[in-house]
Amino acid sequence: MTLAHGVGSSADLPLPLDLVLQAGAAVVVLSFLISAWRRRSRAVAPDFSSLPLSWLRYPVLALALYVIVNAFAGPRHGNPAAHALFVWLWVGLIPISLLCGPVWRQVNPLRTLFTLLRLPRHGWRPLPPGSTPQAWPAAAFLLVFAVFELAVPHQGDPVAAGSFLLLYAGTQLFAAALRGEEWFARGDAFEVYSDLAGRLSPLVWRPWLSGLAAPLLPGTAAFVAVWWGSTVFDSASASPAWAGFVQRTGHAPILAAVALTLICGLVLLAVRWTAGRLDVTASLIPIAVGYTLAHYLSLLLVEGPRGVLLLVQQWGVLGGAAWTLIPIPSVVASLQVALILIGHVLGVVVAHDHALADSPDRSVLAVLADELPLMIFMIICTWAGLFLLFV
């Protein structure tokens, strides 16, 4: 079984493509001007209040172990292993983190297993005192996951999904044995993923969006570039142009892995070049969240509950039930457009606030002039996101 990603074409959208693109650019520009008019930057003291979800760590560990064992010992057809990896974990973790904050940090089965194993301290090599943890390891692991998801054939097979989960867990635990439990905060791609999406949670960060003002690990820009770039490649690889190119040249997995890596690298270079002296990493997080939710919206609605149904049916429950939800194309497409535009509007507001905070003594007009390349870059990103919905 191979899980399909995304839904929608130009016929699904309630408005013509040119009007949608014009509206997207207008929304970004308008939000830029409004954010400049409404306030100067103010000192933000983020108030983080984590929701008490650590009691879920043992049920989540039990579920993770079951999924991995069942991937090898369970049936090849109707096995929920691929749903657990590609839908529940990769897509479902975003809306859960948006609501509950960095939830994966509290329920991460790798942290729980690391604690239960009580690995010996002898031979550990923690970070040197005074050194700053970086997110580059998580970016590398996220790229490995993206290559597996988008370039490796038969990745939806339960044995393939179970093998990836097993190898990923083993590698993470080995690294944690060398560096200590703090490794997961910078090396586990899914924990960093949940942490970044959770910074948009209004329940745990007061005031809202102040989570994006809190310090980010160095290397987070690379992580966000892989996150957003892999989703862009997933959309582009579904186009007839890419299918024809691969068919003519052959070696589809190699081409997909190379193209995916190049796109992620180009996104990072574009961000660095556009931002100049500004650090715009935090402003890219809502853009990545909005585009990911838009791209995988139908996958989450259709395959998420179906995976749960497959899981319980293996336990002899609801044997004759079936999940047959058929999303209404116009409704899904409208939600996709709204998610992309909301993400970009929030990105513009956050970028402007950070720019003003970095230059408190400069006039608003001078700061706006510095932000002009960033605004153009965000308009291009908005157009690209909306255009890929049609492809």
* Per-residue model confidence as pLDDT tens digits over 269-279: 888 877 666 67
Give the confidence band of 137 by pLDDT, cuts at 50, 70, 90.
very high
Query: What is d(CA 92, CA 85) in angstroms, rounded to the nearest whole number?
Result: 10
Query: What is d(CA 372, CA 380) in angstroms, rounded to the nearest whole number?
Result: 13
At 45 the pLDDT is 59
pLDDT digits over 323-359, tens only? 887 888 778 888 888 898 899 888 888 877 777 776 6
* Contact by Cβ (8 Å): 386, 21: yes
Q: Which residue from 177, 170, 201 is spatially nearest to 104, judged by alpha carbons?
A: 201
Provide the H-helix boundaries in 180-296: 184-187, 189-198, 220-236, 240-249, 252-275, 281-295
Answer whether residue 222 shows pLDDT above 60.
Answer: yes
Answer whether residue 5 shows pLDDT above 70.
Answer: no
At 122 the pLDDT is 45
At 11 the pLDDT is 42
Answer whether residue 228 shows pLDDT above 80.
Answer: yes
Residue type, 293: L
Segment among 200-214, 253-267, 328-342, 359-373 with least mean pLDDT: 359-373
Q: Give the residue-averaged pLDDT of 19-35.
A: 69
At 89 the pLDDT is 95
* Contact by Cβ (8 Å): 49, 361: no
At 263 the pLDDT is 94
At 44 the pLDDT is 53
Residue 133 DSSP label? P
How confident is the prediction for the chain on average, in pLDDT? 83
At 179 the pLDDT is 87
Answer whether residue 9 shows pLDDT above 60.
Answer: no
Non-local (6+) Cβ contacts of 187 within 8 A are: 137, 138, 141, 172, 175, 176, 179
pLDDT digits over 286-297, tens only? 999 999 998 899
Most confident of 161-170, 261-270, 352-361: 161-170
At 195 the pLDDT is 96
Give the confidence band of 17 by pLDDT, cuts at 50, 70, 90.
low
Most confident of 165-179, 237-251, 350-364: 165-179
pTM to 2 decimal places: 0.89
